[in-house]
Amino acid sequence: MRRRIARFAVVALCLGVASVCIPVVAGAAAQPALSVRAGVLVEASSSQQLYAFRADEELPIASTTKLMTALVTLERVRDLNTVFAQNSYRSASVDSQIGLEPGERMTVSDLLTAMLVPSADDAAEDLAYNVGGRSVGRFVAMMNVRARELGLTRTHYATPIGLDTPGNYSTASDLVRIATYLLRHYPFFARVVELPRARLRSGSHPRIVVNRNDLVGQVPWITGVKTGHTLGAGYVLVGSGTRGGMTLVSAVLGTASPASRDANTMALLDYGFAHFRLANPIRADEVLARTTVNYRTGLHASLIAAHGVARVVARGTVLTVRVQAPHRLAGPLRRGAVLGTATVLANGHPIASTPLLLARALSAVSPLTIAAQFLTRGSTLVVLVVLLVAAVGLAVLRRERARGKESGRLQQA
């Protein structure tokens, strides 16, 4: 648990409305002009959309279909050393393949690598056939169920490979969501898709495979993810890159050539890294206020953020944190009691907030402690002295009056 007061960052904000990124800062850089049928750019940890062009249009997606093939396989096969035997499938000579022979045995790890790095169709068929219980059709049904579970409402599969097939389509937005999910939850997947080349050790003989995503290995910060190409889909690339602690994931669909695919991907990612950053104005458990406690001299109760606030922001706008909390507290109060709010403001406008929680419980104060503190206060002592002097004076006055009356009675007698 961090015990520090939040420091405010100088940053800027980009909010998404519908499918368009609307810069808050006047004069912010224009979005890149792309030659694509559809494209999208998001920040991986928050899924904030930084660019979108026809991002929800249903289009053929070629071998980026294999992202879902990988996800279903990783969720169903826990031991990647499991060995599968190839069925009778044979790829066409023009298709991407590693030349698996019917009955050839290969580990799931190597099959996934072959499917993701050189985009081998025969490896995808092998996985689908075996994970589907010796039925590719059953595996495709699993793919569609998983798409619905992930909320990919504009995605449907008819093949585990991605060949031009009626009913096999997705969107730029959905492709990025699948890729982001895989990168976040499956370290094996993240490691494989950033390999420029790999060695497959199982099967009838060792194989060296080369990544069809030629940005991997050429650009140091590119980390994946998956290429695709058919006549119907054109050239497709789901890309990712990490710079300055921020990971962006992009998708470009329907480009005209591998060079255009790469250029459009780089234009999107460069745009994102040049004009945005990931800001953390509030961190979980950060102390944002210290409040005095009634009848406990010198004690301050710490109020901490219930959760962190992270936002992708454009460069230039000021982020501040406004804290609303009581000035004094009185026990008993349980640990974690909600006692205020911290609000993040961008250029004075609220964009996020988090409750403030009491870091440690406060017990009730006993009546004796309250009385003792009351009696030992300086102002209380002054009042008591004044009252005592007044009482003594009053007693003396009453005594003198009594003596005077007694003296008068004696004189009369």
pLDDT digit string (tens) for 261-297? Answer: 999 999 999 999 999 999 999 999 999 999 999 877 7
- Residues 171, 58 contacting (CB under 8 angstroms): yes
* pLDDT tens-digit readout, 74-84: 999 999 999 99
Residue that has been written with the tokens 């790469």 in this structure: 262
Instruction: Give dist(CA 346, CA 350) in Å, integer.
Output: 6
Confidence of residue 87 (pLDDT cuts 50, 70, 90): very high
Instruction: Give dist(CA 146, CA 140) in Å, integer.
Output: 10
- Residue 382: pLDDT above 80? no
- Give which of 52, 247, 67 is closest to 150, Cα–Cα: 67
Tokens of 154: 């504009």
Q: Is 157 helix (H, G, I), strand (E, B) or coil?
A: coil
CA distance to 67, 126, 295, 319, 336, per residue, from 365 (Å):
61, 71, 7, 40, 19
Q: Which domains does the chain have, with CATH numbers?
A: 1-31+277-388 (2.60.410.10), 36-255 (3.40.710.10)
Q: Is 91 a catalytic residue?
A: no
Instruction: Give dist(CA 317, CA 324) in Å, integer.
Output: 23
pLDDT score at 381:
53
Q: Return the half-sphere exposure (C-beta side, CA atoms, 13 A cut-off) of residue 178.
A: 32
- Residue 332: pLDDT above 80? yes
- Residue 12: pLDDT above 60? no
- Give which of 226, 177, 173 is closest to 57, Cα–Cα: 173
Give 38-107 as a DSSP string.
EEEEEETTT--EEEEESTT--B--GGGGHHHHHHHHHHH-S-TT-EEE--S----TTS----PPTT-EEE
pLDDT score at 291:
94
- Residues 167, 154 contacting (CB under 8 angstroms): no
- Stretch 207-225: mean pLDDT: 97
- Residue 380: pLDDT above 60? no
pLDDT score at 297:
79
pLDDT score at 398:
77
pLDDT score at 89:
85
pLDDT score at 369:
55
- Residues 70, 115 contacting (CB under 8 angstroms): yes
Give 88-143 as a DSSP string.
S----TTS----PPTT-EEEHHHHHHHHHSS--HHHHHHHHHHHTTS-HHHHHHHH
pLDDT score at 301:
94
Name beta bridge partners: 210: 197
96, 109, 119, 202: the active-site residue: 119
- Residue 173: pLDDT above 70? yes
- Stretch 12-21: mean pLDDT: 28
pLDDT score at 379:
61
pLDDT score at 366:
61
- Residue 409: pLDDT above 80? no
Higher pLDDT, 410 or 75: 75
- Residue 26: pLDDT above 60? no
- Of 21-35, 210-224, 351-365, the range with the lowest mean pLDDT is 21-35
Instruction: Give dist(CA 317, CA 344) in Å, integer.
Output: 12
Write the burial class of residue 258 (CB in 10 Å: 0-12 exposed, 13-18 middle, 19+ buried): middle
Confidence of residue 20 (pLDDT cuts 50, 70, 90): very low
pLDDT score at 9:
33
pLDDT score at 320:
94
pLDDT score at 405:
67
pLDDT score at 91:
72
Higher pLDDT, 1 or 323: 323
Percentage of residues of the chain with pLDDT beyond 70: 83
Give 348-412 as a DSSP string.
TEEEEEEEEEESS-BPPPPHHHHHHHHHHSHHHHHHHHHHHHHHHHHHHHHHHHHHHHHHHHHHH
Q: Is 88 a catalytic residue?
A: no
- Stretch 32-43: mean pLDDT: 96
pLDDT score at 7:
35
- Stretch 368-384: mean pLDDT: 56
- Residue 368: pLDDT above 50? yes
Tell me the pLDDT of the chain averaged across its residues: 87
Tokens of 297: 């001299």
Residue that has been written with the tokens 């569609």 in this structure: 144
Q: Is 226 a catalytic residue?
A: no
